[in-house]
Chain A
Amino acid sequence: MSQKELINAITEMREIDALRIADDLLESGTDPLVVLDACREAMAQVGQGFEEGEHFVPELIMAGEILSQISNRAKPYIEAQEGAEVAETRGTVVLGTVEGDIHDIGKDLVAFMLDVNGFEVVDLGVDVPPAKFADAAREHDAQAVGLSGFLTLAYEPMKGTVQALKDAGLDDVKVMIGGGQVDEQIRDYTGADAYGRDAQAAVRLAKQWMGG
């Protein structure tokens, strides 16, 4: 069993195979961080496939599910290691669905894609008031804030949140917005720095803003 086989199983969405290979690797004494690295590589490939129109929501969710199961299995092995290294993050993004909107699927996909691409994600959940975004951005020293909203009712809260960040003196924090009815017109209206069509666009923006 090799990391290569694990990567293939994940990118081909073979859940049972992937879990079995991960178990075999862990049980046979492979460094759990090496196993997780293989998962990260697989996720990067899935993300790439998403960007190229080869993978879609089912594949992101399935790959995420496999990753989460393998992470749980690897955890006891990592805890057994002395002084395991914590992976460095590329930067911190505060993320949430704006006030009045309780949809979470789009936001969760963005959180997942940012996370597997090495960003620290502070997920505030849904129906998040503007002040909470500002507080979290300050508390976590975030470089960017991501605002999600599925419905047209998200437009005003998005604008209000951009304003709340400015009012809090967080002018350096970049704001990205996204969702079903969000486009350049709404970016302009809300005063956000950028909008993204999908989770991969969020990754591109985060890399552009924070390097990597």
Chain B
Amino acid sequence: MFTPSDNWDDLSREERYEARFAAWMSTEDRAFETPEAEETYKRRAQRVKDIVELKKPDRVPLLPWIGGYFAEYAGFTPHDIMYDAAAYSEAWRKFNLDFKPDYLVFAGYANPGEAFETLDYQVYRWPGHGVREETSFQCIEDEYMRADEYDFLIDNPERYYMTRYMPRAFKALAGWQMLPTVFTTMELPIIPAFITPIGTPDAQAAFKALLKAGEQALAYGSVVAENEAKLAAETGMPALPGGVTKAPFDIIGDTLRGTRAIMLDLYRRPEKVLAACEALVPVAVRMGVETATAQGNPFVFIPLHKGADSFMSRDTFETFYWPTFKAVILGLVEQGLVPYHLVEGAYNERLDIIRDPDIPAGTTYWSFDQTDMEAAKEALGGWACIAGNVPASMLHSGTPEQVEDYVKELIDTVGQDGGYAVSNGAVLEQAEAENVRAMFETCKSYGVY
């Protein structure tokens, strides 16, 4: 947890950035088991700060996207880790200890299956619940938001989520459709309008389900958190990234309207799509700030989906995707945070657009999947830190030698003067351990400056 100072509003962007990093890098309130672990923590935190600032650290940092691969590696199924926090913890600990990444493996896979069942979650299928136990969770796109609901979303995104999206996304919360506006709490004689509907059987059932899901999530999450704290204390590995948010176009295109519907909306109601993206900017910034602040971590993970080269034209990207995505980046940077992008697919046709003069140099991180890395370096060099691109296919079906050569080539061509991290392109599920190891070892040995 990061606590902003009393004079936070008076601080400059740079001061906020330094304050967040100082808190994250401080070892005072962190318990390390050995002085070596403490040293490791300081060095690795500094290393990633250096690359964000486009400096050359002692060596190239390793920031892979391990996804759910750690479970497969440790002999557990995706189902095991969602339904048994001890199995999750054992697998996660084993991977971190065996592979010794620079930073604790990103914890986006600590997801309590039981809580999702309690809520009767509709937007994803997960192992044993719509997909096989050996298969990871996958999104089911649908029109969870109807075409005629744009105005409601634009007018009041939070209330739209509470009373329309959530009752559809979580069947157990169907009763929330009739949740009264919170403004009914402003005077005693109006409060009955707020609390009486909560007494109805549907609302009661919804709140009971939510309470139960909360208990289940906390029981699972406590085991995960305890295990993480223990490993962090033992090894000194910092956790990355901290917060999370999304680009406004993806918020609508991924889980509100779905790809098919939002693409039709671009022609049928383009002004609504634009207005909704704009309405979601403060929502997305707030989500990034709150989640990163809660974690006490300056990095905000932003996975990028529907703006990739293969999805839309440059024109469409510049009109519909970029302006509000840029506003989210600026909003986070203004709060001293580092947007930590995972650019899925390819951004070859967007590199000159994202290098926007309004975004200050040395404030953002871009991990690419299939984007040409030399072109990325050419376009973004001296402006933003880049990473990524070791192919998922190679980590799965290639050889350790192939991976070693690939990583060396990346370091030689785009990693020579700092502002760079070694990473794979897409979030891993399946891979050969020896190939993953080759990526790690090559970064550690060949990446020394």
- Please tell me if the beta carbons of A61 and B263 are within 8 angstroms of each other in the complex: yes
B146 adjacent to chain A (CB < 8 Å): no
Looking at the complex, which one of B266, B316, B392 makes contact with A181 (CB distance below 8 Å)? B392
CA distance A151 to B393 in the complex (A): 10
- Please tell me if the beta carbons of B259 and A57 are within 8 angstroms of each other in the complex: yes
- Please tell me if the beta carbons of B398 and A152 are within 8 angstroms of each other in the complex: no
> CB-nearest residue of chain B relative to A104?
B141
A-B contact count (CB 8 A): 91
A138 adjacent to chain B (CB < 8 Å): no
Residues in chain A near residue B140, CB distance under 8 A: 102
Residues in chain A near residue B120, CB distance under 8 A: none
A120 adjacent to chain B (CB < 8 Å): no
B264 adjacent to chain A (CB < 8 Å): yes
Residues in chain B near residue A13, CB distance under 8 A: 267
- List residues of A (120-157) whose CB comes within 8 Å of B's CBs: 127, 151-153, 155-156
Looking at the complex, which one of B267, B345, B396 makes contact with A152 (CB distance below 8 Å)? B396
A62 adjacent to chain B (CB < 8 Å): yes
Q: Among B134, B138, B266, B316, which residue has the most Cβ atoms of chain A within 10 A?
A: B138
- Please tell me if the beta carbons of A58 and B267 are within 8 angstroms of each other in the complex: yes
A15 adjacent to chain B (CB < 8 Å): yes
A27 adjacent to chain B (CB < 8 Å): no
A198 adjacent to chain B (CB < 8 Å): yes
- Please tell me if the beta carbons of A185 and B391 are within 8 angstroms of each other in the complex: yes
Residues in chain B near residue A183, CB distance under 8 A: 391, 393
A51 adjacent to chain B (CB < 8 Å): no
Instruction: Report the minimum CB–CB distance from B179 to chain A (whole Å).
Output: 31
> CB-nearest residue of chain B relative to A159?
B397
CA distance A61 to B429 in the complex (A): 30
Residues in chain B near residue A192, CB distance under 8 A: none
- When A56-B311, A181-B392, A183-B391 are in contact, do A103 and B138 touch as well, CB less than 8 Å? yes
Residues in chain A near residue B396, CB distance under 8 A: 152, 155, 186, 189
- When A101-B138, A155-B396, A188-B397 are in contact, do A58 and B430 touch as well, CB less than 8 Å? no
- When A180-B345, A181-B392 are in contact, do A152 and B264 touch as well, CB less than 8 Å? no
- Please tell me if the beta carbons of B313 and A56 are within 8 angstroms of each other in the complex: yes
**Proximity bits, B379-406, A CB within 8 Å = 1, else 0:** 0000000000001111011100000000
> CB-nearest residue of chain B relative to A156?
B430
Residues in chain A near residue B313, CB distance under 8 A: 53-56
- Please tell me if the beta carbons of A152 and B268 are within 8 angstroms of each other in the complex: no
- Please tell me if the beta carbons of B316 and A102 are within 8 angstroms of each other in the complex: no
A167 adjacent to chain B (CB < 8 Å): no
- Please tell me if the beta carbons of A100 and B131 are within 8 angstroms of each other in the complex: yes
CA distance A181 to B425 in the complex (A): 9
- List residues of A (187-203) whose CB comes within 8 Å of B's CBs: 188-189, 197-198
Instruction: Report the minimum CB–CB distance from A145 to chain B (whole Å).
Output: 20
> CB-nearest residue of chain A relative to B431?
A152
CA distance A152 to B138 in the complex (A): 12
Looking at the complex, which one of B310, B344, B430 makes contact with A56 (CB distance below 8 Å)? B310
Residues in chain A near residue B310, CB distance under 8 A: 56-57, 197-198
> CB-nearest residue of chain A relative to B306?
A57
- When A57-B311, A152-B392, A153-B135 are in contact, do A181 and B426 touch as well, CB less than 8 Å? yes
- Please tell me if the beta carbons of A100 and B135 are within 8 angstroms of each other in the complex: yes
CA distance A64 to B33 in the complex (A): 61
A182 adjacent to chain B (CB < 8 Å): yes
Residues in chain B near residue A37, CB distance under 8 A: none
CA distance A101 to B139 in the complex (A): 10
> CB-nearest residue of chain B relative to A15?
B267
A105 adjacent to chain B (CB < 8 Å): yes
- List residues of B (263-277) whose CB comes within 8 Å of A's CBs: 263-264, 266-268
Residues in chain A near residue B259, CB distance under 8 A: 57, 61, 105
Residues in chain B near residue A65, CB distance under 8 A: 264
Instruction: Report the minimum CB–CB distance from B312 to chain A (whole Å).
Output: 5
- When A56-B313, A62-B263 are in contact, do A181 and B393 touch as well, CB less than 8 Å? yes
Residues in chain A near residue B430, CB distance under 8 A: 152-153, 155-156
Instruction: Report the minimum CB–CB distance from B35 to chain A (whole Å).
Output: 40
- Please tell me if the beta carbons of B138 and A58 are within 8 angstroms of each other in the complex: no
- Please tell me if the beta carbons of B393 and A102 are within 8 angstroms of each other in the complex: no
- Please tell me if the beta carbons of B260 and A105 are within 8 angstroms of each other in the complex: yes
- When A180-B426, A189-B397 are in contact, do A105 and B391 touch as well, CB less than 8 Å? no
> CB-nearest residue of chain B relative to A188?
B397
CA distance A61 to B394 in the complex (A): 32
CA distance A181 to B391 in the complex (A): 8
Residues in chain A near residue B136, CB distance under 8 A: 151, 153
Instruction: Report the minimum CB–CB distance from A199 to chain B (whole Å).
Output: 10
Residues in chain B near residue A186, CB distance under 8 A: 393, 396-397
B132 adjacent to chain A (CB < 8 Å): yes
Instruction: Report the minimum CB–CB distance from A74 to chain B (whole Å).
Output: 21
Residues in chain B near residue A102, CB distance under 8 A: 125, 130-131, 138, 140
Instruction: Report the minimum CB–CB distance from A189 to chain B (whole Å).
Output: 4
B428 adjacent to chain A (CB < 8 Å): yes
- When A181-B393, A185-B393 are in contact, do A62 and B131 touch as well, CB less than 8 Å? no
Given contact pairs A57-B311, A152-B392, A152-B431, a sample of 5 additional A-B residue pairs in the complex whose CB atoms are under 8 Å apart: A56-B312, A56-B313, A155-B393, A156-B430, A181-B426
Question: Considering the complex of A and B, which 10 residue pairs feature the smallest CB-CB distances, nearest first?
Answer: A189-B397, A58-B263, A185-B393, A100-B135, A61-B263, A181-B392, A186-B393, A152-B429, A58-B266, A152-B392
Pairs across A and B, CB under 8 Å, 16 listed: A56-B311, A58-B264, A62-B266, A100-B131, A151-B136, A152-B396, A152-B429, A152-B431, A153-B429, A153-B430, A155-B393, A155-B396, A180-B344, A181-B392, A181-B393, A183-B391
